[in-house]
Structure 1
Amino acid sequence: MTINFPKQYNSPEDLAALLSQRGLVFDDKERVCRYIRNIGYYRLSAYFYPFLEIPKDRQIFKQGSSFDAAIKLYRFDKKLRLFMFNEIEKIEVSLRSTLANVVAKETGNIFWMTDATLFSNPNKFSRTMELIDKEFNNSKEDFILHFKNKYSNAYPPAWMLVEILPMGVVTRIYENIRSNPLKKKIAACYDLPVPVFTSWLTVITLTRNSCCHHARVWNRQYAINPMVARKMKRPWISDAVSPQRTFYEICIIKWFIDIISPHNDMKQHFLSLLEQYPSVDYKAIGIPQDWLNEPLWR
């Protein structure tokens, strides 16, 4: 049996009063209203949740819980998201370049992305071509407009085309490449076997999308269980790190970054972020107590 959604609209003033009534401490009601107005009560409620007494559905705050503490958590989550997105950008740029150029070099075909003979599943290729057409036809990028005006080819070369495609489409293109030796060669650029590389591409794409859409990442629980090789070619992490938590995603990001930029400062940036917010619960992120002793982070 289904029921109608029971809640009605409440003004920021009503919601601030409700928070106070439930035991959340704050001095400046107008400031609370301003946050509710500009961020939204629904989004903020995820950061109120850790401060609720058990059972949580009673919606009563633990004694001494403050609005400021919840906002600190909100700010930490935002900075964590920006930190992750900044690192993912480097991975994405590298992946696009590696994919476009390795296949062009190995096949001798610079237009390989739109060549059906190089892909294993015709239906997947057809759907990918629809997305390529959409991006190519709608692109206002100067280099695409210049190509259309100057050349008679139906599509630009792979290294140009890959720049206008969403990361999800790039991942799909890799997955559908017919030649396994070719897929191995691309995955080997990141010291990974094909199944693990494919799995981690999906993780990177989904994490990137979460960051782009300002989704909560700090205490998120992920449904996807990333694959891992029985014997990893580089220092990795132990079973103490939960694959369902954000820290595991950060470890995957670091694996790529260590290959792309061997003298990177990702670890220092992460440590600095954690030091700024000492009150944040490491367990919610999935960080084990002795994480700095994990082989990947040493």
Structure 2
Amino acid sequence: MIIDDDKKALHLLEHIGYYCLCGYWYTLLATPKTDHRFKPSSTLSAAFRMYCFDRELRQIVLGEIEKIEVAVKSQIDHFFSAEFGDQWYANPALFNNKILFLRINETWACFFDEQLTACSLLDPVPNRLIVKTHFLTHLGNAFIIRG
């Protein structure tokens, strides 16, 4: 592999890492790949450009996924609020997984006790905040059911 700038190469290895970068220079290997020899014109700059492209693509895709996530969580909150009122998350009858229900509510109680003691206006916890922060990790696994 051709390394045009030793200082830049060292910087990339220190800040991105060998194992992260080596995935991008796989396409620069000569065949058979198992020999671990690079094609004659392979450069570290080419591998870094692939890394940058992948990073930018990831940011675009994750940005779009985040928009979908927000829309889905908003629809879930809207539906359950319309069906069961704005305190639906505090009703254990709506959850199949009672242990997870307790964990969610205990987590929120601890969070607000520790972090927002000066903000008594947030008692009870706003349902939109519950959905927006816990949907994928907790509520999505709680299998919320209709009463």
Tell me, yes or no, if the aligned pair for 1:51 and 1:61 is still in contact at 8 Å. Answer: yes
1:161 aligns with 2:130: yes
Distance 1:131 1:93, change over 3 A: same
Distance 2:105 2:28 in 1: 46
Distance 1:141 1:93 in 2: 24
1:49 aligns with 2:26: yes
Query: For residue 73 of structure 2, what is the amino acid of its counterpart?
Result: R
Distance 1:141 1:47 in 2: 43
Aligned to 2:53: 76
- TM-score, normalised on structure 2? 0.82
Distance 2:40 2:57 in 1: 28
Aligned to 2:103: 130
Residue segments in structure 2 that go unaligned for 5+ positions in a row: none
Higher helix share: 2
Could you tell me the percent identity over the aligned residues?
A: 26
Query: For residue 11 of structure 2, what is the amino acid of its counterpart?
Result: R
Distance 2:24 2:2 in 1: 14
Distance 2:3 2:10 in 1: 11
Match of 1:113 among 86, 89, 101: 89
Residue segments in structure 1 that go unaligned for 5+ positions in a row: 1-23, 183-298
RMSD: 2.6
Equivalent residues in 2 for 1:96-245 (5 A)? 96-107=73-84, 109-119=85-95, 121=96, 124-138=97-111, 146=119, 149-150=120-121, 155-165=124-134, 167-173=136-142, 176-179=143-146
Higher RCO, 1 vs 2 (CA within 8 Å, ≥6 residues apart): 2
How many residues align? The count is 146
- CA shift for structure 1 position 141: 6.9
Residues 38-66 of structure 1, C-alpha deviations (whole Å, 9 max, x = no match): 11111111111221223323221122111
Q: Secondary structure at the match of 2:130?
A: helix
Query: For residue 111 of structure 1, what is the amino acid of its counterpart?
Result: Q
Distance 2:38 2:115 in 1: 51
- CA shift for structure 1 position 113: 1.5
Aligned to 1:269: none
Tell me, yes or no, if the aligned pair for 2:92 and 2:101 is still in contact at 8 Å. Answer: no
- TM-score, normalised on structure 1? 0.44
Query: For residue 164 of structure 1, what is the amino acid of its counterpart?
Result: T
Distance 1:128 1:65, change over 3 A: farther
Distance 1:56 1:25, change over 3 A: same
Give runs of ≥4 in structure 1 deviating > 6 Å: none
